[in-house]
Structure 1
Amino acid sequence: MPALATAQRSNQLSRTLARFQGLPAALRVPLMSFLLGKVVPFVGTASLRFDEVSSQRVVVRIRNRRKVQNHIKGVHAAAMALLAETATGFCVGMNLPDDKLPLIKSLKVDYLKRAQGDLTAVAELRPEQIHLITTQDKGEVTVPVTITDESGAAPIQCEMVWAWVPKARR
């Protein structure tokens, strides 16, 4: 599956990332991750890695290293929530028209077990959700996201609700 779906380039974010589509993964992933870390500085601070970014699916990883660890040498709870929020937010952001502003409306994170090693988030939107995001002036969607650790287990369960509003106030 390509890192960026060619059918959806409706906004500045998707058009910018489309420029990297032809690059080999060894170059594309670090360049996209660097660029997206500049868009959202906290994402850059945590060194999140974007393995896949399309209008339907975003895959983001965080390495278990000192700057994101808790007191027991695992990925900190806040860093886990950041991972889920980032994957879902960029899923929405890839579809949102340039005249709209994405806003996290609510996030619910249940910590189920101790995470082992690095973590991966996979967020996906259904076609009907994409249709709402691209056509409604304002609204909200619950974006499904799965977080897994190196063992393949899901240490957390999340529910992320994203809203969008016009950028210009009326």
Structure 2
Amino acid sequence: MASTFQLYRQIESKPLGKRAFSLAFMLKAPYFATVRPKVEVMEPHRGVVTIRKRRGVHNHIGTVHAIAVANGLEAAMGLLCEATTPKGMRWIPKGIRLDYSAKVPTDVRCEARTDMADWDKQPPFQVDVRCTAYIEDGSEVVSGVIPVWVTAKS
């Protein structure tokens, strides 16, 4: 069975490949369908999704709800972890720490990043995945960390 990352690499450059992968991603983790993340980048140490501003993710003031942004950041983190976790290991998020610095009045780009050194350890270990969300003009609106616990597969 192909890994999630192998599947992404096989279809990303095909017509509608990223759209098809985004749909498959939501089927694998159905809760993400609430924000409909569009997968932009899946590679080692980097995951990026876009959340479209639409009524289903609005808060009471008509901007993108903070938890919708958090879901987008968690989706980006999941893509990064799937592409980065060494063979024979598995990962699970341990929590989430986010600072919301501004309203989100537009579509939002959710980005997760790590460095090679973050993963150069013997299991079990924790990786602090850095997460940032940006609105269309490039302004940062949310930043934080999602700690991920990495262990050997049993």
TM-score, length of structure 2 as denominator length: 0.88
Asked if the contact 2:129–2:146 (Cα under 8 Å) also holds between the matched residues in 1, the reply is yes
Matched, 1:17 2:11: no
Asked if the contact 1:116–1:150 (Cα under 8 Å) also holds between the matched residues in 2, the reply is no
Letter in 1 for 2:3: Q
Which stretches of structure 1, 4 residues or longer, exceed 4 Å deviation after superposition? none
Rate the CA distance shift 1:20–1:130 in 2: closer, same or farther, 3 A: farther
Backbone CA RMSD of aligned residues: 1.9
**Structure 1: where are the runs of 5+ without partners?**
1-10
SS of corresponding position for 1:94: helix
Superposed displacement of residue 78, structure 1: 0.8
Superposed displacement of residue 98, structure 1: 5.7
Letter in 1 for 2:19: P
In the alignment, the residues of structure 1 paired with residue 150 and residue 92 of structure 2 have an alpha-carbon distance, to the nearest angstrom, of 6
- After superposition, residues 14-163 of structure 1 pair within 5 angstroms as 14-24=5-15, 27-97=16-86, 99-132=88-121, 136-163=122-149
Aligned-residue identity in percent: 24
Letter in 2 for 1:50: V
In the alignment, the residues of structure 1 paired with residue 49 and residue 12 of structure 2 have an alpha-carbon distance, to the nearest angstrom, of 17
1:61-103, Cα deviation, whole Å (9 max, x unpaired): 1011111111111111111111111212221121224643321
SS of corresponding position for 1:137: coil
1:37-69, Cα deviation, whole Å (9 max, x unpaired): 112111123211101111132111101111111
In the alignment, the residues of structure 1 paired with residue 19 and residue 13 of structure 2 have an alpha-carbon distance, to the nearest angstrom, of 14
In the alignment, the residues of structure 1 paired with residue 110 and residue 13 of structure 2 have an alpha-carbon distance, to the nearest angstrom, of 24
In the alignment, the residues of structure 1 paired with residue 133 and residue 105 of structure 2 have an alpha-carbon distance, to the nearest angstrom, of 12
TM-score, length of structure 1 as denominator length: 0.80
Letter in 2 for 1:95: T
In the alignment, the residues of structure 1 paired with residue 136 and residue 7 of structure 2 have an alpha-carbon distance, to the nearest angstrom, of 31
Letter in 2 for 1:67: G
SS of corresponding position for 1:122: strand
In the alignment, the residues of structure 2 paired with residue 36 and residue 165 of structure 1 have an alpha-carbon distance, to the nearest angstrom, of 23
In the alignment, the residues of structure 2 paired with residue 45 and residue 80 of structure 1 have an alpha-carbon distance, to the nearest angstrom, of 11
SS of corresponding position for 2:11: coil
Superposed displacement of residue 21, structure 1: 3.8
